[in-house]
Amino acid sequence: MKTILVTGGSGLVGRRLTEMLREQGYRVLWLSRDRDLRADPPHYSWDYRDGTIDREAVEQADAIIHLAGANLGEKRWSDARKEEIVASRVETSHLLFDILQETGHQIEAFVSASAIGYYGTAVTDKVFMEEEKPLGSDFLSETCRRWEEAAFRFSDLPGVRTVALRTGFVVDRDSDAFGKMLLPTRLGVGSPLGSGSQYLSWIHLEDLCRLYIHAVEDPMMKGIYNAVAPQQVTNAQFMRSLAKEMHRPFFFPSVPAFLLRLVMGEAADLVLGGSRISAQKVLDSGFQFRYERANEAIRASI
């Protein structure tokens, strides 16, 4: 039985991923703020702020899945929040790297989260492949660049295969972001955000977790992959599909961009920007999506 060490296990992706890993016979450990070995799964402590980590957790791991990171959409992006967003991703990676280097413990794979925000907030018809460079520079793009740079340090360790999954909008009934779309639609006032012409690159939670497992198990997978479904839809098309699946009207005008920026500040970039993102590299790896179309993913999540 192989042991997978998961960071950020208490989040939406981490919880479901843990369930799926265990269903497939893996032993799972979490790195958490508080140590509790009686918890299920066992929690080992770490804190990137003071550089502390339970060595025994790392020394038991055959692979590490790194999901830790402050929630991007939870708060406005003040300077302090921006520092936390970056540090909770980058410094945690550095801490894991340092302890592996210090102990000499060898893992087979390091699989890190990243985000399609890497490509920037430009709204174009360009289809972004993994090797594409961002169009312009913004906070989220720079964060993802540093996030991935920290992850690929692990490739310098003997025998470690490194994968980064640039994740799109996660569709699931327990997702806070998806829930914010559900509520107005349920009330019959669903509408596009901003112009609605920006692309919303999405992936169902089940497929995302299956892709993480695929990345752990497939020795041919290494490098960067876009963790998005094959279907490319705009925000307006996605919201229209949501209304249709919920049997609700869809005729209200778009929510103005200035209003979203007033409420969300710079974090409004999360919903106002976006171009088309290719899933071809994931498909070429042999991965098969269970939810290839937005209406299928929505139907399974409402």
The pLDDT value recorded for residue 294 is 96
- Say which residues have a Cβ less than 8 Å from residue 1's Cβ, sequence separation at least 6: 25, 26, 27
Closest Cα partner for 235 from 273, 203, 205, 262? 273
Whether 285 contacts 217, CB under 8 Å: no
Whether 70 contacts 127, CB under 8 Å: no
Which residues share a beta bridge with 29?
A: 5
The pLDDT value recorded for residue 96 is 98
The tokens for 218 are: 């497939």
The pLDDT value recorded for residue 101 is 95
| Residue stretches of the chain with pLDDT short of 50 | none
Quick one: how far is CA 255 from the chain centroid? 25
Taking residue 78's Cβ as centre, other Cβ atoms within 10 Å add up to: 11
Which residues share a beta bridge with 7?
A: 31, 66
The CA distance from 81 to 87, in Å, is 10
Whether 86 contacts 148, CB under 8 Å: no
The CA distance from 217 to 285, in Å, is 12
* Helices and strands, number each (H, E), in the chain: 11, 14
pLDDT digits (tens, 9 = 90+) for 250-296: 887 787 776 777 677 876 777 778 889 999 999 999 999 999 999 99
Q: 3-299 adopts what CATH topology?
A: Rossmann fold (3.40.50)
The CA distance from 112 to 224, in Å, is 10
Locate all alpha helices (DSSP H) within 121-256, ordered by sequence. 139-151, 176-186, 205-217, 235-245
The tokens for 278 are: 């290719």
The pLDDT value recorded for residue 251 is 81
The pLDDT value recorded for residue 221 is 98
The pLDDT value recorded for residue 123 is 86
pLDDT digits (tens, 9 = 90+) for 198-220: 999 999 999 999 999 999 999 99
